[in-house]
Structure 1
Amino acid sequence: MARDTGLLIVPSKIVIHPSPSMASNSIFLLLFSLLSLLHLHSSAAQSSVKAVYWFPDNEFPASNIDSTLFTHLFCAFADVDPTTYQVTVASQNTNAFSTFTTTVQQKNPSVKTLLSIGGGGSADIKNHFSSMASQPNSRKTFIDSAINLARSYNFHGLDLDWEYLATDTDMTNLGVLLKEWRDAVVAESSNSGKATLLLTAAFYYAPKIESLSYPIDSITTNLDWINAMAYDFYDPAWIQAGLPPKKLVLGFPFYGYAWRLVNADNHGLFAPTNGEGTGSDGVMLYKQIKQFMAQNGAATVFNASIVGGYCYAGTTWIGYDDTQSISTKVSYAKGKGLLGYFAWHVAADDNWVLSQLG
């Protein structure tokens, strides 16, 4: 997740991932292996997860969310103050965040809410996390302020969205941060008599970022689960590295990527392109893709062997996840004993057709 976007696999997946070489050359087909699962215990606090992220600047108010379709809702994003390292909420989001839980529980009193901190799309965010996690005092400030904010806004948990850790030191400090955070929420629960806050994190699609390895032991011990941002890519190595299946929640994209074909008559997989298509940087929400299909009479193709679809009209080619691919992935995750799945993001769906699957 993040303040950016992506796509997922199961059992193999068309992946359209923006890059300079792709924009100037061709549509790429990336096939991915099935997840290989190893043994391990489940998350003691949670039997299954069906979640989605929401953020306030998408012109989709929290009151519009059909919370009956989900077990958990992530409210994104709180910030880390670069000077004090306290977790804060932008002034324009204070009302929406402070009322988020009460708003979504009007339709589903049992839905759990988590405040997501950080997000992608900015080097500053990454640097703020790195600096915060490097010292005991700043970690404590971050942890204490996050817990206080969660309680004051009635969230049931906290979600760390620290993306693209840059050094081995960052990875080591992440492990320490998670341990101290777990200790703090347990102590706070004991002192307050309230249920222990959930702790989750949105991480890279694989357990390594280039040569840097996530602290698997600390993640397994201290987080209730991770949201693997398996949007554009997926690597089964999270499980192979020792993460329990019941600690893994897979990410689904409620959007796709549009590309401009060199030749409208050559519109299959691997067809040459010469740039991004319609949308913002080529990214189109699922509901926008459906609108494009209807308005342009786009032809649609679903390839069962790669569990992915695309559509085309004129020189516009769009790769995306549709109801067939999402439902297959849901069934796969359930069949393999994963904790669940989540989507980025709720406002991108088209009349809840993707959210209703599973």
Structure 2
Amino acid sequence: MALKTISLFTSILLFLLQVCLSDDEKKVVKSSYWFFDSAYPLSDIDFTFYTHLLCAQAFVDPNTFQLNISNSKTAQFSVFTQTLQQKNPSLKTLLSITGGIADDSALSSMARNASTRKTFIDSSITIGRPYNFHGLVLDWEFSSTTTDMTNLGLLFKEWREAVEKESKNSNKPQLLLTVAVYFSSVFRSLSYPAEAMENNLDWIKVMAFDFGAPTWKPNLTEAPAALYNPFSEVSGDSGISSWIRAGFPARKIVFGLPYYGYAWKLKDTNNHGFLAPANGADITADGALGYTHIRNRTIGQGSAITAFNYTFATDYCYNGTTWVGYDDVKSILAKVLYAKGKGLLGYFAWRVDLDDNWTLSKTV
């Protein structure tokens, strides 16, 4: 009788453990962007690797401050969620919103007063809900004034209030709210409104990449997405630590992973590590290369040498004068383990079409 009781008790414990583990797994965000301009078919995405997919991009009209989706994108955006959920019904989708390519002035103007914020907020819900998106993500990485930071906090508070009200009226789950932010909680000596962000956002997406590129650092090879950096405060670890010190909870941070890298032209083929002398960008105008290009063309040429740098926890390769800093399997794995160790919510990748046969997605 005692043995049966122990056996039953053990079975119950194992069952509860499985339930708990399943619940924890469901809380993890595994996400990537789909970029309309890439012309990558939605049907080609392997949906088994993701919990969330982000549809890029809708723009804030600089004159009306309403959310705008161009006519060329309307057809695919309107069926984005429906198409993805046919293969993975549990997949969540978010609409990515920006003020313009490399231009946040429309967002700054929109957030300046309550009436224009309301115009934007109302239009985001009016578009997001009928298109069946589960959430909205604001890509405003460079709030460059104290006023911007203050207005950002007000925007999130009013946005949360609006989606709560809409949810009650529609009897549907609240739209998720998130934002893409600078890798650090401080941008140009200005602090993000961490408390308002914690109170009103479901999570934040920390852009832990683009730390170095030949367009703005042409003379030395760099680690574009270093997890660690003993020479400066510019690294993924430094940024995450900054957000946590600011009081933002680790459980609401999603870590950014780049599925691309940057190529420099070496000055001396015998000097080919990090911080080696370089002559600007190689291969493309800005040096940017997707992971699939790096694997199949740069490395695939046969004579390229690949290496993993343990100091920066990132990869690089070189072939003649071509030198590429990027994330490969080892650095992606190091970042995933780092995120788990820090108790982060998950990861997001830019972007789904740049992976090579799902190599990096499988690693995550």
Aligned equivalents of 2:76, 2:284: Cα separation in 1: 27
Match of 2:281 among 265, 269, 276: 276
CA deviations over 1:65-85 (Å, ceiling 9, x no partner): 111110111101101111211
CA RMSD of aligned residues (A): 1.5
Query: In structure 2, the residue corresponding to 1:355 is in which secondary structure?
Result: helix
User: Partner of 2:195 in structure 1?
Assistant: 217
**Are residue 326 (structure 1) and residue 332 (structure 2) matched?**
yes
| Runs (5+) with no aligned partner, structure 1 | 1-43
Q: Which residue of 2 is the match for residue 338 of structure 1?
A: 344
Match status 1:200 vs 2:205:
no
Query: Which residue matches 1:6?
Result: none
Counterpart in the other structure of 1:188:
166
> Tell me, what secondary structure is at the counterpart of 2:97?
strand
- What does 1:161-310 align with in structure 2 at a 5 Å threshold? 161-231=139-209, 232=211, 233-234=235-236, 235=239, 236-291=241-296, 292-310=298-316
Measured against aligned partners, the alpha-carbon deviations of 1:222-252 in whole angstroms (never above 9, x if no partner) come to: 0000000011243220111100001100100
Give yes or no for contact 1:77–1:119 (8 Å, CA) kept in 2. no
Measure, in 2, the Cα distance between the counterparts of 1:120 and 1:286: 25
For 2:274 and 2:198, how far apart are their aligned partners in 1?
39
Say whether the 8 Å CA contact 1:119–1:163 is kept in structure 2. no
What is the distance in 2 between the residues matched to 1:302 and 1:131?
Answer: 44
Aligned to 2:230: none
More helix by share: 2
TM-score, normalised on structure 2? 0.83
**Structure with bigger gyration radius:** 2
Which residue of the other structure, out of 141, 154, 157, is the alignment partner of 2:132? Answer: 154
Partner of 1:117: 97
1:82 to 53, 62, 82: 62
Unpaired segments of 5 or more residues in structure 2?
1-23, 212-234
Aligned to 2:13: none
Change (3 A) 1:175 1:251: same
> CA–CA distance in 2 between the matches of 1:339 and 1:284?
28
CA deviation vs aligned residue, 1:324-351 (integer Å, no higher than 9, x gap): 1101211221122110111111111000
Question: For the Cα contact (< 8 Å) 2:60–2:100, is it kept in 1?
Answer: no
**Cα deviation digits, residues 294-334 of structure 1 (max 9, x gap):** 12420111123432111111110111110011012112211
Q: Output the TM-score relative to the length of structure 1.
A: 0.84
Question: More relative contact order in 1 or in 2 (CA 8 Å, sep 6+)?
Answer: 1
Runs of 4+ in structure 1 displaced over 3 angstroms? none
How many aligned residue pairs are there?
A: 312
Q: CA deviation at 1:115?
A: 0.3
Between 1:63-72 and 1:190-199, the stretch displaced more is: 63-72
Residues 199-236 of structure 1 show CA distances to partners (whole Å, capped at 9, x for unaligned) of: 00001111111111110110000000000001124322
